Amino acid sequence: MSEGFVLSDEMEMLRDNVRKFIKKEILPREQLIDLDAPFFPEDIQKEVQQLGRELGIWYVDAPEKYGGADLSIFAQTIIAEEASQHRMGAYNAAGGAFGFELPNVIFKGTPDQIERFAVPTIQKGGSGFVGITEPSGGSDPARAIETKAVRDGNKWILNGSKIFISAVEFADWGVVYARTSEGRNGITAFLVEIDAPGFSYKPIPVIRSWYPKELVFDNCEIPLENQLGEEGQGFKLAEHWLTKGRIPYAAGCIGIAVAALKMAVEYTKQRVTFKTPLADKQAIQWMIADSEVEIKAARWLTWEAAWKADRGEPFKNEASIAKLYATEVANRVVDRCVQIFGGMGVSKEFPFERWFRELRIKRIGEGPSEVHRMVIARNLLGERR
């Protein structure tokens, strides 16, 4: 944990280890693959994951007894900022070297569910998906969910669809939220295996190189033992996953902004226009200054949210503030860096254009900016107006 504005020795060591790991192990390997590749090829993937295990950073939010590192939210935040500072880092931090995202609500399940789903995934370095968002839209999942689950003897039957779902094609299972009755307490969570009868998916082309998926449930059969948590309590499980996840999500965006600004600063010292370096131009100096100020502000806000979460204090409002501000700051910083680099800023030779595309999604994922502004305002004005 940090003390005031100073990282503890333990956190500094963690930050430095991840920073060195990205520089030594990830950046050189990225030079070997396509500029827009979302993942390493399987052979490189296995190499870096083995190195991640050896470093002791493996599935950071999974309990140790199941093979994870079981790190605090603050530690996860420190890792996320450093691990994102490479070309594919806006989407695939550390190239998957520290394991992929696992729906952490699985650890609210039964011992049998954890052993069947979580443990094998952690052991092999796999991932799981989360199915919440639906074509009906709406930013309140408790009301927007229309996918229905009906009990039929010793199984549930799911019908409906989900959109913009990540990590499906590499997952063996996922957590899907479906309506079992009306109202906010009418949502139930289910563990859906990728080969479940009646389950299928297809890609949704978007602006980044890796496409999310549409999930289709056509009389999809789910064994009764795959119900996750109590019936009707799925929304509470979803909030658990979403709220904590927003903090390292924000930190990852900050890391991209940090990497972009470092590149821009070096470039302005070298690039000469009208007989003087870009660094001497006031317009450029202001872009750099504004970026540095905003990055630091975003970092403190994100650290505060992580600190409160680890102390067991209410942190939902702080998580929304961090997610809102960090994602918007990262977009502004990368946009300025594109401007500073000019034509080269939109060239695939540099990672800015890729970061620009992927960061634009970050302002929508994990709740769009407008919803987080609504959450923050409600906290000040009262829950309902």
Kindly list the catalytic residues.
366
**CA pair distance 308, 319, nearest whole angstrom:** 9
Q: Which amino acid is at 109?
A: G
Euclidean distance between CA atoms 105 and 240, whole angstroms: 7
Interatomic CA distance for residues 171 and 102, integer angstroms: 10
- The span from the first CA to the last CA of the chain, in angstroms, equals 38
344: β partners: none
177 - beta bridge partners?
189
Structure tokens at 201: 């998916």
Say which amino acid occupies 233: Q
With CA atoms as reference, report the closest residue to 59 among 27, 29, 94, 108: 94
Q: Which residues contact 275 (CB under 8 A, 6 or more apart)?
A: none
